[in-house]
Amino acid sequence: MTQALIVVDVQNDFCPGGALAVPGGDEVVAPINAMMDRFDAVILTQDWHPAGHSSFASAHPGKSPFETVEMPYGTQVLWPDHCVQGTEGAAFHKDLRTDGDLIIRKGFRPAIDSYSGFYENDKATPTGLEGYLRSRGITRLTLAGLATDFCVAFTALDAARLGFEVTVDLAACRAIDLDGSLQAALDQMKEAGIALQS
């Protein structure tokens, strides 16, 4: 069995002081660094938006962060501007080990957001991660990072749907928790047969 660790979005903008800070976001760095050596492969995802991205509230006149809009692909939460390509906010946390095998960037198409490392939010446009994992013979995935209820959960749910055996290490994740989104994500992950480890 070949096992990979997927480190989700451990970037400055999701850490304290960042544009879309997740409470305690930086606390995932030490446990994730310590886990890396136990895996056959380590993959990092990086939220990577062009300026003016359609998931930013600032791109929708009259809208504020954390309100929603209807997009052609469904309801989209609007976020503060974050993880703009090439900025310090989009960089990985300075203490995160980045000596993994692959960095997969997502959310770079202006008109569509991408929470999952596998598919954009239309659930149809692939990032290529599935093909990478399959061609390396990887069948088991452990996920950690930010944020539990958005990018970690969406990545985990897609992975389970694609037939990977998935564990989410909750001790190495932190959540945004908008209106009960954390509990909803935990329930959905359990329902999908994802192992939640803490």
Catalytic residues: 9, 106, 151
What part of residues 40-79 is at the interface with Zn ion (CB under 5 A)?
47
Query: How many residues sit in the footprint of ligand VGL (CB under 6 A)?
Result: 9
Q: Which does 150 bind (CB under 5 to 8 A by kind): Zn ion, ligand VGL, none?
A: ligand VGL
Residue 154 beta carbon to ligand VGL: minimum distance, rounded to whole angstroms: 8
Cα gap 10→17, rounded to integer Å: 13
Q: Per CB under 5 A, does 13 bind Zn ion?
A: no
Q: Per CB under 6 A, does 81 bind ligand VGL?
A: no
Q: 192 in helix, strand or coil?
A: coil
Contact string (CB under 6 A) for ligand VGL, positions 132-161, x = contact:
--------------xx--xx----------
- Residue 135 CB neighbour total at 10 angstroms: 8
The two tokens of residue 18 are 């960042």
* Bridge partners, residue 84, by sequence: 49
Contact string (CB under 5 A) for Zn ion, positions 85-104, x = contact:
--------------------
Residue closer to ligand VGL by CB (options 81, 160) is 81
HSE at residue 86, side-chain half, CA atoms within 13 A, is 2
Can you list the alpha helix ranges (DSSP code H) found in the chain? Answer: 29-35, 129-135, 153-161, 181-191
Contact string (CB under 6 A) for ligand VGL, positions 29-48, x = contact:
------------------x-
Cα gap 146→153, rounded to integer Å: 9
Cα gap 82→172, rounded to integer Å: 22
Interface positions with ligand VGL (CB under 6 A): 9, 14, 47, 79, 115, 146-147, 150-151
